[in-house]
Chains A and B, each alone.
Chain A
């Protein structure tokens, strides 16, 4: 995995500073402009991405099983998980909101898991898709990742707003912490992935 494609900076032993984009020889170790540590590729990027992803995947289980929101209505206590909450919304007739919440808190995390795992595997077993397509998928994960937080914000607002004692009150459930963990960890996973490794086998695979 140490050979880089011909037109890349890394093949000339030049490192692109991750902070200020100054290209300088890797022997300098620190960027002369901003003192950031120089690397040809983010160190351990695949291992770290995989580690964060697997942690997030494990957290995703309690995030779906534990309640996100505990509602007390006239003395009756109701526990809502992510999926449960979406079903309730759908039955109450607010389909558009149900769809928004479904996309943000179910579809987006799953898409992120699939894409990031696929990208990591595509580097190990090179040549699943051509680099340009894989990069597009990577950009998609970066773009959509943050939107999963919508559900957490909704819970935060409802908890703050609805406090009418036993008539109606909302408490956060333990699932919120797990779910926030999933969002943050998948975001870190996407950040620690280095899209440049997708192009390292460019000469062999796509340049026919």
Chain B
């Protein structure tokens, strides 16, 4: 619908002709090396499978324990929700909400929107919502901190190992694999290509 004669780089505003990339090639801005697009024809199915897997794993994560803390017979366990909820009752409500958003709600919403977007592209249902779905996804993306939380778990684990017996629960492993899927999704998400899919779908 919108044939592009020129495109511009988001990092240096260089005007250029739209790239003609072959399968698997990556187009970079000639001046500042900003990534413009990376073309994969298998992208859409891979992306869908990683996003769905991620969502399932995220659901699994809520069902089990994240880790167990055992100090001479005093045992306590936490799950994903509790890591935020305890702060909520300690009058750190903003922080609890923030943490929950960063580690759970935003990543889940992003994956749901991506799945919904791909399904809508594939089936042609709900074309009217596609642009808003994409805009919303890209606004939320920088705020999901999945990998940072994973490092946070590891840091607190190492911190506590010296004073108590620590065990990692199923949720931790699910979250770790989810983190991998999420990272995969991030590398496969390509703005340039997404908007092309929309153009093709509306044509």
A158 at the B interface (CB under 8 A): yes
Please determine whether A167 and B8 come into contact, CB atoms closer than 8 angstroms: no
* B142: A residues at CB distance < 8 A: 146, 187, 191
With A and B bound together, what is the CA distance between A16 and B131 in angstroms?
Answer: 16
| Complex interface bits, A161-176 against B, C-beta within 8 A gives 1, otherwise 0 | 1111001100110001
Majority DSSP secondary structure for residues of B touching A: helix
Q: Among A23, A135, A153, A168, point to the contact of B99 (Cβ < 8 A).
A: A153
**A160 touching B4 in the complex, CB below 8 Å, given contacts A180-B98, A196-B13:** no
Q: In the complex, what residues of B have CB within 8 A of residue A180's CB?
A: 94-95, 98
A3 within 8 A of B: no
- Which of these binds chain B: A31-39, A48-56, A57-65? A31-39
Q: Which listed residue, A16, A19, A156, touches B84 by the CB 8 Å rule?
A: A156
Q: How far is the CA of A196 from the CA of B14 in the complex (A)?
A: 9
CB <8 Å contact, B158 and A94: yes
In chain B, positions 79-132 with a C-beta closer than 8 Å to chain A are: 82-87, 90, 92, 94-96, 98-99, 102-103, 131
Known contacts: A4-B13, A161-B76. The answer to whether A20 contacts B191 by CB under 8 A is yes
Q: Total number of A-B contacts with CB less than 8 angstroms?
A: 189
Cβ B92 vs Cβ A177 within 8 A: yes
**Residue A128, interface by CB 8 Å:** no
* Contact for A167 among B13, B74, B78, CB less than 8 A: B74
Known A-B contacts A23-B4, A162-B76; A172 and B32 likewise in contact (beta carbons under 8 Å): no
Contact, CB under 8 Å: A22 / B2: yes
Main secondary structure of the interface of A (DSSP, over half): helix
User: Which residues does chain A contribute within 8 Å of B15, judged by CB atoms?
Assistant: 7-9, 12, 14, 23
A87 within 8 A of B: no
Distance between Cα atoms of A184 and B98 in the complex (Å): 10
Nearest-CB residue, chain A, relative to B161: A94
Q: Beyond the given A19-B135, A157-B78, A198-B12, could you list 17 further A-B residue pairs with CB under 8 A, ordered by the A residue number?
A: A9-B6, A21-B7, A22-B4, A33-B195, A36-B135, A97-B155, A131-B32, A147-B148, A149-B149, A152-B152, A157-B152, A160-B82, A160-B86, A168-B71, A180-B94, A180-B95, A196-B11
Interface residues of B (CB under 8 A from A): 1-2, 4, 6-15, 31-32, 66-67, 69, 71, 74, 76, 78, 82-87, 90, 92, 94-96, 98-99, 102-103, 131, 134-135, 138, 142-143, 145, 148-149, 151-153, 155-156, 158-160, 162, 191-192, 195, 198-199
